[in-house]
Amino acid sequence: MKSVVEYLDYRKFISDFYSERKAMYGFTWREFARIAGFSNPVYLKQVADGKYNLSTEAAERVAKAVDLVGIESTYFKLLVSFSNAKNDRLRQAAFVQMQAIAKKRKSTALIDDVFKLFKSWKYSVIRELAVSMDCPTPVEISKMCYPEIPTGEVSAALKLMCKLGVLVLDGTGNYHQTSKVLSMMDEAKPVASTNLQREMGNLALDALSELPFAERSMSGLTIGISSKNYERIVKEIADFRKRITSIVVEDEKTEQVYRLNLQFFPLSKKLKK
């Protein structure tokens, strides 16, 4: 089993620990819970399945139960804080501390590489072009990007995505997208999302002034709503994204890569009741 500092998901770590011990000597979730001091015999299974979150105190118990000490114990507890963070600021703070520990253990490669995927708009564009073109070279992909991405960056991005299993290069020179699409490791996305959304917003501004109406569609609404209807609209946006994804999946051939930005944010403070 790999070191805890190579994980970005504490649930995955718990699941892997259990699976390894079970394979070795018939370890059970009941025994795991007992060692960690939990009365519910399937509590840790429910945590691993995503039904419950570990509290700070529970994280301490689990760290002791799996014999984590020193910086490994600290890292595990940071993993829990990272996953449970209520906002991006707290999540970022936990991530920075995780990176610092990983560097001490020389285990930063995976964390840093996955972080890169969600920090820049370039990776998703390069991925879509790579799987849509016939035996594409970095030079050819570079020329198809708008705005154009330097060939060296395209080459590095392709190598990274192949390394992480997002893309696979076959013997004929064609790229294929694996099941590890860019939604992999969702825990990493919120940390890098601020920079990514800013980049995508800037690209939208460029498109507004540089592209003809026939190649872009931009619209918006300024509305007054209640907290209740805010939640309804957020759900509608999520459902809309799913419908768009269904349309994309049905498409037989890619002719061009587009970006769809969805922003929904307040323009005023809450009115007093």
Report the percentage of the chain scoring pLDDT > 90.
Answer: 52
Q: Which of 50, 46, 30, 26 is nearest to 38 (CA)?
A: 30
Q: What DSSP string runs through 29-76?
A: HHHHHHHHT-SSTTHHHHHHTTSSPPPHHHHHHHHHHTT--HHHHHHH
- Return the CATH class of domain 118-210+221-250: mainly alpha
Element containing residue 16 per DSSP (H, E)? helix 10-25
Assigned fold of 4-107: 434 Repressor (Amino-terminal Domain) (1.10.260)
Give ranges for CATH 1.10.10 in the chain: 118-210+221-250
Q: How far is CA 119 from CA 113, 115, 124, 192, 238, in A?
A: 10, 6, 10, 5, 22
Regarding pTM above 0.85, the answer is: no
Structure tokens, 253: 């051939």
pLDDT tens per residue, range 99-109: 888 877 765 55
Q: What does the pLDDT read at residue 138?
A: 96
pLDDT of residue 143 exceeding 50, the answer is yes
Burial of 5 (0-12, 13-18, 19+ CB in 10 A): buried
Residue 187: pLDDT band (50, 70, 90) is low
* Calpha distance 4→6 (Å, rounded): 5
Burial of 189 (0-12, 13-18, 19+ CB in 10 A): middle
Q: What does the pLDDT read at residue 182?
A: 47
Element containing residue 176 per DSSP (H, E)? strand 175-177
Identify the residue whose tokens are 């560097």. Answer: 103
Q: What is the DSSP letter of 169?
A: E
Positive/negative CA dihedral, 131, 137, 142, 144: negative
Give ranges for CATH 1.10.260 in the chain: 4-107
Q: Max alpha carbon distance in the chain (Å)?
A: 66
pLDDT of residue 10 exceeding 50, the answer is yes
